[in-house]
Structure 1
Amino acid sequence: MRVPQMGSLGFLERSHIPLVLQLLFLFLFTGLLVAIVIQVSKIPNSEEIQWEQKKQEKMYQDLSQLKSEVDSLCRPCPWEWTFFNGNCYFFSKSQRDWHNSITACQEMEAQLVVIKSHEEQSFLQQTSKKNGYTWMGLSDLNKEGEWYWLDSTPLSDSLEKNWNQGQPNNIGGQDCVEFRDDGWNDASCDQKKFWVCKKNATACSASK
């Protein structure tokens, strides 16, 4: 009687093998399904894509509007010019002789700088000291020792104090004036130096 019982137990053990395989398959299938769902969830749907496109369009419109507003702002001076006390100043990054410096300023509808006040002198002196030796619109080319600005006005007594010690000395025929260190120096007009132009600032209209 024991032999059939043992056979029946073996049969029961063998009958559980397909069930184990089914459970294993079900587990693997479930894991695969979960992985697919996760990947699909990462793909943006059409509504998300449209929303992202609208957001980018809105940013572009905002930037375009901002650029338009900046362009419409009143600028008293052109780009790369410096505003000071109602005037615009251009400090060159290249060097020319005195006469070519005059031409360069004229091409920009300006004038090689003519100094009108102590405040202007201080501003120009400090800026030129940082940049290097710089031409101004002052010379005694017409008559030695008589200094005139390019607008034909004579050098005022109040500005005479800006000459460096021992200047002007006219060594070798020095007829043009430069900013040098903390004051003025006469130099040969043929020497190449930096230069500074000056013109009136633009008045902003009320509409802007």
Structure 2
Amino acid sequence: MSDFKQVRVQQLDPLEEELAASSARGSLSHHVLQPPSRAGSSAGCLSSSYVLLGLQLLSLMVLAGLLVAVLAQVSRVPSSQGQKVCQELTQLKARVDRLCRPCPWDWTFFQGHCYFFSKSQRNWHDSVTACQEVGAQLVVINSAEEQNFLLQISKNKGSTWMGLSDLNEEATWHWVDGSPLSPSLTYWNEGEPNNVGEEDCAEITDSGWNDAKCDAEKFWVCKTSSSSCPNT
């Protein structure tokens, strides 16, 4: 009880004594003027605490409801945008399929294969490595049509390495894929190969094949299988 309430109680004590002497009013006066007990005060504080807690819970519930409503609205926006993006990607894929190239850019397509004609020059061994690094091999010639195709390119570029050598055994020519040179599929120029000065690697010239020194720098041709385009 506060000091202010204590003073009031002390001031009321004489009056209580006087009223107690009167038999008619003593009992009623005592109950009216009796200061509030500590239990009543505690109950009031507890009741106020419950009210405050209830208001806080109500505020939290309102905020939670607003948050749910906002999230519901936000969730609808990505969904519609996602459907739009999906449709655009589908349309783009259809266009790409129609523009499908069987070979990468800078490669030339011919009869189910892709060919890369170099713009720089290397020796034969480095040319083999350059093709392997892009998942291809130094060109292996398998038909007369392929030979004519490569011959036309060589006329414009100059001598070009192909994947043929007799490095493992002199005069026994093998392709880089390990297959032996077929006697029925050779296009040596007249008098070639002559192995002048240890010429163990084959090149394509503007007229046919020729053996040359493997450390000479020339253009080269890589070959790999083409990709199949999806049906549209």
TM-score (norm 2): 0.58
Structure 2 unaligned blocks of 5 or more: 1-90
1:121 aligns with 2:144: no
Alpha-carbon deviation of 1:69?
Answer: 3.0
- For residues 121-156 of structure 1, give each alpha carbon's deviation from its aligned partner in whole angstroms, at most 9, with x where no partner exists: 110111112111100000000000000001111111
| 1:193 alignment partner, one of 193, 218, 223 | 218
| Distance across 1 between alignment mates of 2:100 and 2:214 | 38
1:79 aligns with 2:105: yes
Higher relative contact order (Cα pairs below 8 Å, separated by 6+ residues) = 1
| Distance across 2 between alignment mates of 1:128 and 1:77 | 20
Structure 1 unaligned blocks of 5 or more: 1-64
- Structure number with greater Rg is 2
2:154–2:204 contact (8 Å) kept in structure 1? yes
Partner of 1:41: none
Alpha-carbon deviation of 1:85?
Answer: 0.3
Alpha-carbon deviation of 1:73?
Answer: 2.1
Please give the secondary structure, in 2, of the residue aligned with 1:106: helix
Alpha-carbon deviation of 1:71?
Answer: 7.9
Partner of 2:179: 153
Partner of 2:169: 143
% of aligned pairs identical? 65
What is the aligned length? 142
2:160–2:203 contact (8 Å) kept in structure 1? yes
| 2:208 alignment partner, one of 158, 172, 183 | 183
The AA in structure 2 aligned to 1:86 is: G
Partner of 2:30: none
| 1:170 alignment partner, one of 195, 199, 218 | 195
Provide the aligned C-alpha RMSD in A.
1.9
Alpha-carbon deviation of 1:105?
Answer: 0.5
| Distance across 2 between alignment mates of 1:139 and 1:101 | 13
TM-score (norm 1): 0.65
| Distance across 2 between alignment mates of 1:187 and 1:181 | 15
